[in-house]
Amino acid sequence: MKNTIKMKMFAYIVFLLILSIFASIYALLIYLNKASSRVTSFNTITFVVGVLSFFILGLLAGNTAQKNGLLEGLIAATIIILLTLIINFFVQVPFIARSFVKTVSYITSASLGGILGVNFRPIMGRKYD
């Protein structure tokens, strides 16, 4: 049980690390005027980075579980999205149709990552039950 929690936390920490690296690089590119800071390009790039990050989250979640990749990716993405929705509720950010499409895309991406993650050798050397 303790090992399972440790492996799930590993997936979330790597997700946050990759997301912060992507965000830092993009912020640096905007600061140096190498990337456009228009709203449309910003939304597009953040969406693509989000899909990639959720795919990696699902990949790691499925890989650490080594079974039920679809479910593991779905659960991992749902936890992150619920936390984000709770924060958005308190900050009073409206939930619009575009947010719904992004949420479904992120969940789908994490689920596909979970399906693929099960097929690779375990990263953290999990012993089979």
Compute the distance between CA of residue 19 and CA of residue 54 in angstroms, rounded to an integer.
9
More confident residue, 123 or 24: 24
Residue 125, in any domain of the structure: no
Structural domain total, the chain: 1
Entry pTM: 0.84
- Residue 59: domain span: 2-118
62-111 pLDDT, tens digit per residue, is: 988 888 889 989 999 999 999 988 998 888 888 788 888 999 999 999 99
Residue 92, in any domain of the structure: yes
Residue 129, in any domain of the structure: no
Compute the distance between CA of residue 26 and CA of residue 21 in angstroms, rounded to an integer.
9
Q: In this structure, is the dihedral angle defined by the CA atoms of residues 84, 99, 39 and 92, taken in order, positive or negative?
A: negative
Compute the distance between CA of residue 38 and CA of residue 112 in angstroms, rounded to an integer.
31
Total length of the chain: 129
Residue 22, in any domain of the structure: yes
> Contact, 39 vs 50, CB < 8 A?
no
